[in-house]
Amino acid sequence: MELDLPSSPILVRLFAESPLLCSVPLVCTTLLSLWYAWSSSQWKPIFIAVAGLLATAFIVTVTTINVSPGEHAAQIVRDLARFAETADVVRLDKLFAPDARLHYGSLESASDDIQSILRNSQWLEQIHQIEANTIVSLDFATVDRECGIVILGCRTTVDSNSQMIPTRWWIRVRLTPENSWRIDRIVWTELFLHPPVRGVISHRP
């Protein structure tokens, strides 16, 4: 399975994730119509401008109300980075589905149970004390009504090493039957620009 970011459906992009694709042309049309009405002393372009303003207002309203699965996924991942930085294992645990898995390099690789990592070893609090966790890139897309994909790039500093550690992650977020968004798959795709190996997180005895 490819780990590239998919393209969101066109209507999702237009009316949720990328409203500028519609609103910018409408605003430009409105401004041109107003300029033409002023320069030519005609009234008809003013009606076009008003229609453009109303359409732009409609798009902004729909965008504000409608949150796409991709946007839900992006917010979950932002929370993930924030809670990891503060070592808040309790809140981290609530971000994951019960069957969430962590893969190394690809979805086809061996994986570990994320709940076991958090519960048994407390690796975040006791082993990998994170001092700073900076998001350097976050791209997201909607797969369907119940799934969003995020590709995350981070630079992390831990107390045992002052060097910034660059990582890259592929993260899938799904809507659960309880109507909450949870991470069900993470693929750790890069560590210092190379695929990480299983065991780099010391959660097993």
For residue 86, the model assigns a pLDDT of: 84
Burial degree of 2 (CB within 10 A; 0-12, 13-18, 19+): exposed
Domain annotation covers residue 203: no
Q: Is residue 205 part of a domain?
A: no
With residue 83 as reference, give the H or E element that holds it. Answer: helix 69-85
Distance CA 190, CA 54 (A): 46
- Segment 83-96 mean pLDDT: 89
pLDDT band at 4 (very low <50, low <70, confident <90, very high): confident
Q: What is the pLDDT of residue 12?
A: 78
- Asked if residues 115 and 93 have their Cβ atoms less than 8 Å apart, the reply is yes
Quote the distance between the C-alpha of residue 134 and its chain's center.
14
pTM above 0.85, yes or no: no
The residue segments making up the domain with residue 80 are 69-191
What CA–CA distance (Å, rounded) separates 1 from 108?
8
Number of domains in the chain: 2
CATH number at residue 106: 3.10.450.50
